[in-house]
Copies of this chain bind each other. A is one copy, B any other.
Amino acid sequence: MDFKMSKRVDMMKNSIIRQLLSLCDSPEMISFAGGFPAAELFPIEEFKKASIETLDEDGRKALQYAATDGYPKLREHIVDIVAKQGIKCNIEDILITNGSQQGLEFSGRIFLDEGDTILVESPSYLGALGAFRVYNPNFVEVETDQNGMRMDSLEEALEKYDNIKFIYTIPEFQNPTGLTMPVDRRKKMIELAKKYNVPIIEDSPYGRLRFEGEILPAIKSFDDEGYVIYLGTFSKIFAPGLRIGYVIANEEILSKYNTSKQNVDLQAGTNSMMQLSKYLDNMCIDDHICKITEVYKNRRDLMIRMMDEYFPENTSWNVPEGGLFTWVTLPENVDATELFKKGIARNVAFVPGEPFYPNGGHRNHFRLNYSCMPEEKIEIGMKRLAELLCEECK
Q: What would be 19 A-B contacts, judged by CB atoms less than 8 Å apart? A: A1-B194, A1-B227, A3-B197, A3-B199, A9-B256, A12-B259, A12-B260, A13-B263, A14-B259, A18-B68, A39-B63, A39-B64, A44-B59, A47-B55, A98-B265, A99-B266, A102-B264, A109-B134, A130-B263
The complex places the Cα of A194 from the Cα of B2 at a distance, in Å, of 11
The complex places the Cα of A270 from the Cα of B42 at a distance, in Å, of 14
Contacts of A56 in B (CB 8 A): 48
The complex places the Cα of A4 from the Cα of B194 at a distance, in Å, of 14
Which residue of B is nearest A106, CB measured?
B264
The complex places the Cα of A51 from the Cα of B171 at a distance, in Å, of 37
The complex places the Cα of A2 from the Cα of B227 at a distance, in Å, of 10
User: Hey, what's the 0/1 contact readout for A259-288 against B, CB within 8 Å counting as 1?
Assistant: 110111111111110000000000000000
Q: Are B15 and A39 in contact (CB under 8 A)?
A: no
- Closest 6 pairs between A and B when the two form their complex, measured CB to CB: A241-B270, A44-B59, A63-B239, A39-B60, A98-B265, A63-B241
Q: Are A111 and B6 in contact (CB under 8 A)?
A: yes
User: Hey, what's the 0/1 contact readout for A49-65 against B, CB within 8 Å counting as 1?
Assistant: 00110011001111111
Size category, A interface = 35 or more
Q: Are A105 and B240 in contact (CB under 8 A)?
A: no
User: Hey, what's the 0/1 contact readout for A148-189 against B, CB within 8 Å counting as 1?
Assistant: 000000000000000101000000000000000000000000
The complex places the Cα of A276 from the Cα of B101 at a distance, in Å, of 24
Which residue of B is nearest A17, CB measured?
B262
A40 on interface, CB distance cutoff 8 Å: yes
Partner of A3, one of B55, B105, B253: B253
